[in-house]
Structure 1
Amino acid sequence: MNRTIRILALTFALAAGTALAVDAQTHKETVQQLRIYQIYDDTKPAFHDRFRDHAMRIMARYGFRIVATWETQNDGRIEFAYLLDWPDEATMKAAWDGFMADEEWKDIKRRTRGDKPLVQVLSDRTLRPTAYSPRRIAEPSR
């Protein structure tokens, strides 16, 4: 094999190795977070206004990726559930710390709180994929 072919082969091998390393970084396992709140008939519109118009916007600043939101009935109570997608648990924790400390969010919560709270957290679960989960590997970063 002449020198040029060896150099090209080495360059290709290094490039492939680099691509695989980048691929491993962008295709890592993610965790999801499922949060379920109880909301109340009399404050439901205010809750949805606050979540839609303020919480989602401020959460985006801290890297929250909201996959979906739902409203449901369970045992006679109205529940609001949403699913978040995180690259890892450390990122999730840091984002929540930032969001909860955000001065704008604290001010909005103060201003939108009436005599009765808008929401009660019923469940906050971190979901880790099983080895056989169809969605085991995350899509590349967008």
Structure 2
Amino acid sequence: MFYELRTYICTPGRLHAVVERFEHPVLGIFHELGIQTIGFWSSEADGKSELIYLLKWSSEAERAEKMEAFQKDPRWLDAKLSSERDGPIVESFSAKTLKPTTFSGLQ
């Protein structure tokens, strides 16, 4: 089991669009596909707006299978296209794998 910390650096002034896209339809698609979310946070510092979230995975195989299904989902593809009609809403993206220590509260 591991966690994945995902960070989206938003295009200036577009954090609200990224949040809206997650609210509708991304979270629903995640739920249907069994992608377990732990939490979401936003941050605005040093002139940058970020959406940060944490996912929980049982294995790398589970992650690969479910993320592939998500990326092919027509609702996601439509939402991405329509939310970026006026230009990109995400400037950059990063993901980190986090493995809990033996003393972590999240196991």
For 1:91 and 1:102, the matched residues in 2 are separated by 17
Structure with greater proportional strand content: 2
Unaligned stretches of 5+ in structure 2?
A: none
Q: Measure how far apart 1:125 and its partner are.
A: 0.9
**Which entry has the higher C-alpha Rg, 1 or 2?**
1
RMSD: 1.8
For 2:2 and 2:103, the matched residues in 1 are separated by 12
- Residue 49 of structure 1 corresponds to which residue in structure 2? 20
Match of 2:5 among 34, 37, 49: 34
- Share of identical aligned residues, percent? 29
- Equivalent residues in 2 for 1:47-86, closer than 5 Å: 47-86=18-57
Aligned residues: 107
Structure with greater proportional helix content: 1
Asked if structure 2 preserves the Cα contact closer than 8 Å seen for 1:35 and 1:121, the reply is: no
Measured against aligned partners, the alpha-carbon deviations of 1:102-139 in whole angstroms (never above 9, x if no partner) come to: 11211111122123211134320111223x333474xx
Instruction: Kindly indicate whether structure 1 or structure 2 has the higher relative contact order, using CA contacts under 8 Å at least 6 residues apart.
Output: 2
Q: 1:136 to 1:34 in 2, by over 3 A?
A: closer
Match of 1:93 among 61, 64, 73: 64
Q: Measure how far apart 1:77 and its partner are.
A: 0.5
TM-score, scaled relative to structure 2: 0.86
Unaligned stretches of 5+ in structure 1?
A: 1-29, 138-142
